[in-house]
Structure 1
């Protein structure tokens, strides 16, 4: 980050300066992700019955928003430079960007080796930050080649915009995924209607209602529902078969199931 910042000032390269600014945000983002993992490991309490697992989701949301803001600033600065692009020292710019690329690739490799960047939204947001930095370094190298070979100094702001658009796409994916979790949305890969239909196939089950599936944090899904059974059916037997079905077929081990007979009456459920 420091190398690209100083190099950007010396070479007057927006691509290096933008990548340096992006790395500054990533340093904070990675620290926040690490803090989130530490908080999530703390045990639940009477006040926070789910513990601090949601802190990982909040950290991922913050990281996604930070990516969005930084990319917006880069695009704005690049547009200002489009009309009169300054002369940039392509050779030193490429050398500095190459060092940044190697550092980012090493960081990305470490994250993929040590963490679940595919399913853990917090780890994924950290990984996307590092990947965005790597793309910035690649863009800076490409801009340096074009400027040295053809004198196209406009390549510097253009490459910055292209990289920013890629960063914006990654940021939007993180933001939409975290907001979906915070809104108690059904986890990706699980079909609400399929779960209900599967429970209805159990012998003795008449109806399934008040069915909710949501995510506490990445890799930890929760489930609750009411099951109406036929008269004379062993409720505990139905309950056990339902628990086994939910865990075995849909991978949800945190399930709360209320078994009811026709005599049970409760107030109108609003959600």
Structure 2
């Protein structure tokens, strides 16, 4: 029996959690022994990574649960919410590291560079291995947030090795807090990007990879479509998008609407990978000054003798 992508993802996250926990204990213990703020910063960063992986693990579990009458879209945004929380905690952590490092410039502490380098080398191997495992699942913003954490850890621990070598050969203790500030800046930069992406999803913004003008143009190329308006595209999860719109068509029997609806869904699905659509047909424009209002259901003769057709599509 072939394991599902969710179960593989959960297994990778379990391995990542175990390895990260062991490394947190090691970096904190040896950071204190070596008097290295850079190593202690790494321990703090890895604690946040441990929480991030745990949150992502819980989110993957919820995402695999089916939709219910109360949660009609299921739990697709659980991972997005986890990524948002992860990124916020990293922003707070980066600010704390920067403050601690600034204090070290005015009150330098002698560090043990050889111990720094040995522990950091182990970190590069562990974080690099976890990042490579997570890479294949990084299309999901939840997993991508963890992947960026681990990739950032790999680079920052490599920087700690370089810093340890610099201190060893020059005796300049300010290299340690300088490294901490660089690590903090890198954490902040990657975290802000994830906060922006997840906020856009949570606020139901148009996905950054899609453009309404292109979608509208593609829909209006379908024979029988006169106009597409009240067009909305949003994300249910990090890689699942939905669309709702009003489509104005010429007067025609209801039997002909099915072919137009199928053509519209094909264009949306094949060109833009949108699999959940709600498309409402109209034969006149939405006559209101305050946006669109839904016309009466099915074929109802309006005040001016026009027929309104409604086509709803739920393509999964």
TM-score, normalised via structure 2 length: 0.81
Q: What displacement does 1:116 show?
A: 2.1
Q: In the alignment, what sits opposite 1:250?
A: 272
Contact 2:230 2:292 (C-alpha < 8 Å) held by counterparts? no
Q: Deviations over 1:53-87 (max 9, x none)?
A: 11110000001101111111100000001123211
Q: Take 2:232 and 2:39, find their aligned partners in 1: how far apart are those partners?
A: 48
Q: In the alignment, what sits opposite 1:102?
A: 125
Q: In the alignment, what sits opposite 1:3?
A: 26
Pair 1:126 & 2:146 matched: yes
Q: Take 2:201 and 2:207, find their aligned partners in 1: how far apart are those partners?
A: 8
Question: Which protein, 1 or 2, shows the higher relative CO under an 8 Å CA cutoff with sep ≥ 6?
Answer: 1
Contact 1:231 1:262 (C-alpha < 8 Å) held by counterparts? no
Tell me the SS of whatever aligns to 2:173: coil
Contact 1:15 1:136 (C-alpha < 8 Å) held by counterparts? no
Contact 2:228 2:248 (C-alpha < 8 Å) held by counterparts? yes
Q: In the alignment, what sits opposite 1:215?
A: 235
Q: In the alignment, what sits opposite 1:180?
A: 200
Q: What displacement does 1:138 show?
A: 1.3
Pair 1:75 & 2:98 matched: yes
Q: Take 1:262 and 1:104, find their aligned partners in 2: how far apart are those partners?
A: 59
TM-score, normalised via structure 1 length: 0.94
Q: What displacement does 1:139 show?
A: 2.0
Q: Take 1:264 and 1:13, find their aligned partners in 2: how far apart are those partners?
A: 66
Q: Take 1:264 and 1:5, find their aligned partners in 2: how far apart are those partners?
A: 64
Q: Take 1:175 and 1:262, find their aligned partners in 2: how far apart are those partners?
A: 41
Q: What displacement does 1:132 show?
A: 2.1
Contact 2:67 2:74 (C-alpha < 8 Å) held by counterparts? yes
Q: In the alignment, what sits opposite 1:111?
A: 134
Pair 1:28 & 2:48 matched: no
Pair 1:53 & 2:76 matched: yes
Q: Take 2:76 and 2:267, find their aligned partners in 1: how far apart are those partners?
A: 26
Highest Rg: 1 or 2? 2
Contact 2:248 2:285 (C-alpha < 8 Å) held by counterparts? no
- The 3 A distance-change label for structure 1 pair 206 and 149 is same
Q: In the alignment, what sits opposite 1:201?
A: 221
Q: What displacement does 1:104 show?
A: 0.7
Instruction: From 160, 165, 176, give the equivalent of 1:140.
Output: 160
Range 97-106 or range 254-263, more displaced: 254-263
Unaligned regions of 5+ residues in structure 1, if any? none
Instruction: From 282, 285, 290, give the equivalent of 1:260.
Output: 282
Q: Take 1:129 and 1:78, find their aligned partners in 2: how far apart are those partners?
A: 20
Tell me the SS of whatever aligns to 1:186: coil
Unaligned regions of 5+ residues in structure 2, if any? 1-23, 294-316
Measured on the aligned residues, the alpha-carbon RMSD in Å equals: 1.7
Q: Deviations over 1:41-60 (max 9, x none)?
A: 10111111011111110000
Tell me the SS of whatever aligns to 2:236: strand
Range 160-169 or range 195-204, more displaced: 195-204
Instruction: From 140, 150, 157, give the equivalent of 2:177.
Output: 157
Q: Take 1:94 and 1:42, find their aligned partners in 2: how far apart are those partners?
A: 44
- The 3 A distance-change label for structure 1 pair 29 and 270 is farther
